[in-house]
Amino acid sequence: MLCAGTAAWVLAGGDRVSRRARVVLAGAGPAVPGGPVRWERLLAAARVRAVRWREWACLAAGFAVAVLGGSLIPLVAGAAAAPLVRRWLAARQRERDRSARAAGVIALCGAAVGELRAGAQPGQALTAAMRRTAAGPGGPGPAETAVLAAAAFGGDVPAALRQAAREPGAEGLAGMAACWGISVDGGAGLAAGIDRLEGALRAERDRREALRAQLAGARSTAAVLALLPLVGLLIGTGLGADPLRVLLHTPVGWGCLLAGGVLEALGLLWCRRIVRAGER
3-state SS string for 184-252: HHHCCCHHHHHHHHHHHHHHHHHHHHHHHHHHHHHHHHHHHHHHHHHHHHHHHHHCCCCHHHHHHHCHH
- How far is Cα 101 from Cα 18, in angstroms, rounded to an integer? 30
- pTM of this prediction? 0.67
Q: Where are the domains of the chain?
A: 100-201
The Cβ of residue 146 has, within 10 Å, a number of other Cβ atoms equal to 19
DSSP H or E segment with residue 140: none
Alpha helices in 118-189 (DSSP H): 122-133, 142-152, 157-164, 172-186
Asked if 111 and 133 count as a contact pair (C-beta separation under 8 A), the reply is: yes
User: What three-state secondary structure class fits 33?
Assistant: coil
What is the full per-residue pLDDT of the chain (280 aa) written as tens digits? Answer: 666 666 655 555 544 444 444 433 333 333 434 333 354 555 555 665 666 677 778 778 888 888 888 888 888 888 888 888 888 888 888 888 888 888 989 998 998 888 888 888 888 888 888 887 764 444 456 667 888 888 778 788 888 888 888 888 888 889 998 988 888 765 568 888 899 999 999 999 999 888 888 888 888 888 888 888 889 888 988 888 888 888 888 899 899 989 998 998 898 888 888 888 877 7
Nearest CA-CA partner of 169 in 97, 111, 74: 97
How far is C-alpha 125 from the chain's CA centre? 30
